[in-house]
């Protein structure tokens, strides 16, 4: 049995494990305070997807005046896009249920969950990296952690599995 045949045979199980890892990864820390940031009011910030889900409005209300005060009013408006992150674990739960029940639309649910993770998380990362002012502001205050990169990697693995095992 070749590697591709094994992937096809265990495709549903692998996809369910990857979706479960995405849901678990939602609770891992994504962002921490920059360890090189030595200020008089230093605090230990560790933000996971769950903390964003439960308290994103508090995070926005904290950082938005700070960002606006530094003269980045257009960047402050982008903070409101973070509410989309709430949809990540919900789409994962839908895909997990669809895969478990072997529903006809499980393939679509899998594509939605993996592509949405890649687009939202990798898009956020690329926006921060590409815009100089945002990159300087973000990395002077915060830093991405393993949980954030873990989610991107698992989502890319899910997309690779879907592409390798698709029917022609």
| CA-angle at 127, arms to 66 and 146, nearest 5° | 85
Kindly list the domain boundaries of the chain, sorted by start residue.
3-32+44-54+84-162
Q: Which of 25-29, 83-87, 164-168 bottoms out in mean pLDDT, i.e. has the lowest? A: 83-87
Q: Write down the pLDDT at residue 39.
A: 58
**Average pLDDT, stretch 16-33?**
90
Mean pLDDT of the chain: 85
Of residues 136 and 80, more confidence is placed in 136
**Average pLDDT, stretch 47-69?**
74
- Residue 111 predicted with pLDDT over 80: yes
Calculate the alpha carbon distances from 15 to 7, 24, 39, 150, 157 in Å: 10, 14, 44, 16, 9
Q: Which of 67-76, 96-105, 118-127, 156-165 bottoms out in mean pLDDT, i.e. has the lowest? A: 67-76
């Amino acid at each position: 049995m070749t590697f591709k045949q094994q992937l096809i045979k265990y495709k549903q199980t692998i996809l369910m494990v990857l979706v479960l890892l995405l849901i678990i990864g939602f609770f891992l820390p994504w962002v921490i305070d920059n360890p090189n940031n030595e200020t008089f009011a230093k605090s230990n910030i560790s933000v996971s997807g769950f903390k964003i889900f439960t308290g994103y409005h508090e995070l926005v209300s904290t950082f938005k005046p700070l960002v606006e005060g530094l003269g980045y009013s257009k960047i402050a408006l982008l903070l409101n896009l973070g509410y989309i992150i709430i949809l990540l674990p919900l789409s994962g739960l839908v895909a997990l249920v669809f895969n478990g029940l072997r529903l006809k639309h499980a393939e679509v649910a899998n594509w939605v969950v993996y592509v949405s993770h890649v687009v939202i998380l990798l898009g956020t990362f690329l926006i921060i990296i590409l815009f100089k002012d945002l990159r300087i502001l973000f990395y002077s205050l915060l830093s991405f952690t393993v949980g954030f990169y873990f989610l991107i990697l698992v989502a890319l693995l899910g997309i690779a599995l879907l592409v390798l095992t698709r029917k022609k």
